[in-house]
Amino acid sequence: MKVLGIETSCDETAAAVYDGERGLLSHALYSQVKLHAVYGGVVPELASRDHVKKLLPLVQQALTEAKVAPKELDGVAYTAGPGLVGALLVGASVARSLAFAWGKPAVGVHHLEGHLLAPMLEATAPEFPFLALLVSGGHTLLAEVRGLGDYRIIGSSLDDAAGEAFDKTAKMLGLPYPGGPALARLADNGKPGGFEFPRPMLDRPGLDFSFSGLKTAVVVAIRGRTLDEQTRADVAYEFQQAVVETLVAKCARAAKQTGLKTLVVAGGVGANRRLRAELQTLGERRGLRVLYPRPEFCTDNAAMIAYAGYRRLAAGEHDDLKIRATARWPL
Ligand code: KG4
Ligand code: ZN
């Protein structure tokens, strides 16, 4: 079974082809990051317009690289939500129209299901059930992944997502967008102990997160001060440390609570080296296997959508002729 996947939920335009027998055949992606950088964040209208320009050539590229003709496809999967509604509509309309024109079934996929299943694209694929930490610019959640479509959210952020907290703090420190990677680089030169930031919600039971208080603590610490390079690096160091320790402590708690022995980490913040190092230590201490999709599948991509769509179509599901785009859609 061969499935074309399409992703346009935010600022990445992507297409991929997944084959049930041979695995991933191709994936093509265009990132709009430069387009939005001057504004310091994603501008929804510009994102939609750019998806319109880039999507069809990427679909063509993915099919060519996979050496698959449209008639050989068994279906088209697309991200139906959650995300920016205008951006979603571009992918949904193109996917639904292509499927109709080619006489194939279409299936709208939940973006977070894509992220949760992304590690299945790797050679060391986890087996159900596993624990997943999803940390991106839009989401922070811990989930028990028991099987296809069987997900239990056991913790999520009450306010800012982890990536959003990185981006906002980076902005305060005068770093360019996207701030997460820039802040992490700055933190490499930071020294511990210069600042004391809270570890949000660690003093309470439960698996939820909250990062807005930490952001406020940074505001208060630097307000009215002119920071030299070393001090900025020290703030970045302690901020990163506070986020990482919080995430790791909640993962440890979740592993204990569920008894699960495999933790999968997905989303852009999963690229953070400090987080990876501390999760590795946790894994060694607790006998927890920690897995990551390859870096390009940690962030938004169409391979994960093609894969999730393949699993759904293989299970006999597909949509009617409706074009689905749902900005807010619980998993
Ligand atoms: O998953 P993603 O590419 O996009 C979505 O949000 O869907 O995640 C992007 C987020 C941004 O907030 C970015 O600043 C953050 O991930 N990020 C990082 C790092 N690399 C990306 N945050 C901390 N450290 C990093 N190395
Ligand atoms: Zn995403």
pLDDT at 200: 86
Beta strand pairing call for 23-31 and 75-81: unpaired
CA pair distance 39, 260, nearest whole angstrom: 42
Residue numbers belonging to the annotated binding site for Fe cation: 111, 115, 300
Atom of ligand 1 at shortest distance to CA of 179? 14
> For helices 179-187 and 273-286, what crossing angle results, to 10°?
70
209 close to 162: Cβ distance less than 8 angstroms:
yes
Nearest to 268 by CA among 108, 27, 5, 31: 31
Give residue 272 CA to ligand 1 midpoint distance, Å: 8
**Neighbouring residues of the ion ligand 2, judged by CB less than 5 Å:** 136, 300
Q: DSSP letters of 170-185?
A: HHHTTPPSSHHHHHHH
Ramachandran category for residue 291: left, alpha or beta (phi over 0 → left; psi -120 to 50 → alpha): beta
92 close to 80: Cβ distance less than 8 angstroms:
yes
Pocket test residue of 9, 13, 84, 269 for ligand 1, highest count of atoms within 8 A of CB: 269
Residue/partner pairs of 230-234 with CB below 8 Å, 24 or more apart: 230/189, 230/190, 230/191, 231/194, 232/173, 232/174, 232/186, 233/186, 233/187, 233/188, 233/189, 233/190, 233/191, 234/190, 234/191, 234/194, 234/195
> 309: Cβ below 6 Å to ligand 1?
no
Other Cβ atoms less than 10 A from the Cβ of 265: the count is 24
pLDDT at 177: 87
Nearest to 253 by CA among 198, 203, 196, 197: 203
pLDDT at 329: 93
Write down the residue that tokens 């310091």 correspond to.
Answer: 40
Mean pLDDT of successive 10-residue segments in the chain (331 residues)? 98 98 98 94 96 98 98 98 97 98 98 95 95 94 96 96 96 93 97 94 92 95 94 98 97 97 95 96 97 93 98 96 94 88
CB under 8 Å to 220, separation ≥6 — which residues? none
Amino acid 252 reads: A
